[in-house]
Amino acid sequence: MEQTFIMIKPDGVQRGLVRLPKLFSLYLLFTFTYYVSDCVKLTGFLVHCDYLRFSSCLKLITVDRAFAEKHYADLSAKPFFNGLVEYIVSGPVVAMVLEGKGVVTTGRKIIGATNPLESAPGTIRGDYAVDIGRNIIHRSDAVESARKEIALWFPEGIAEWQSNLHSWIYE
Ligand code: IDP
Ligand code: MG
């Protein structure tokens, strides 16, 4: 099954957008935005999760410069690279692996465009961020980069499991 790497960036964590007490299941995190205002939009959450069928791994972690530079190595020539690395090391992040049919592409759609001003309403960045340098969440951009990012962020490996709901979600 396809996997993608998702990270709630330090601003998402500091802004309280990840509400651990309300995490009654691992897959809640991916749609944590729906829980920002008093657990509304429960239906949206279930729709996303039922489709994506999240699993595997999740952790709160603070990374150092060398690690952040490695994660964003392909952007090292960009003028914003230094600021980007400062941003990622500025506090803990929530790192996770999500799994499901088409999860890379669907993850991109749900999270929205890089620049929140261009992300559609209803996307996570579109609903909860303003500035491109504070866009609260990362997702892998392709299956191959997901593989690399998962290996970097979860060198200990992924806890594989399958939900009992699997056959009710997948034909
Ligand atoms: P992505 O996160 O949507 O894949 P990338 O182009 O891979 O976007 O850039 C990685 C991250 O670098 C972005 O999510 C954003 O936080 C930051 N970033 C991208 N472009 C800019 C910029 O022009 N100024 C400041 N930060 C930027
Ligand atoms: Mg990217």
**Per the annotation, does 19 bind a ligand?**
no
Residue nearest to atom 25 of ligand 1 (CA): 133
Please compute the mean of the pLDDT values over residues 116-128 and round it to a whole number. 90
Ligand 1 geometric centre to CA of 74 (Å) = 11
Q: Which residues are catalytic?
A: 138
pLDDT at 19: 59
Contact 98, 52 (CB under 8 A): yes
Residue 122 φ/ψ region, left for φ over 0, alpha for ψ in the -120 to 50 degree band, beta for the rest? left
pTM (2 decimals)? 0.84
Annotation-wise, does 108 bind a ligand? yes
**What pLDDT is stored for residue 35 in this prediction?**
37
Greatest mean pLDDT range, 39-53, 101-115, 155-169: 101-115
* Percent of the chain residues past pLDDT 70, beyond the cut: 73
**Which parts of 102-163 are beta strand (E)?**
137-139
For residue 71, give the nearest of 138, 171, 169 by alpha carbon.
138
With 0-12 / 13-18 / 19 or more C-beta atoms within 10 angstroms meaning exposed / middle / buried, residue 41 is: middle
User: Ligand 1 in contact with 86 (CB < 6 A)?
Assistant: no
Is the minimum distance from the CB of 71 to ligand 1 under 6 angstroms? no
Reported confidence tier of residue 64, pLDDT bands at 50, 70, 90: very high
Taking the CA of 107 as reference, the closest ligand is: 1
Residue nearest to atom 13 of ligand 1 (CA): 114
State if residue 81 touches ligand 1 by the CB under 6 angstroms criterion.
no
Ligand 1 proximity of 138 Cβ (cutoff 6 Å):
yes
The single-letter DSSP state of residue 32 is G
Q: Is the pLDDT of residue 6 over 90?
A: no
The mean per-residue pLDDT over the stretch 6-31 comes to 65
Dihedral sign for Cα atoms in the order 118, 121, 126, 131: positive
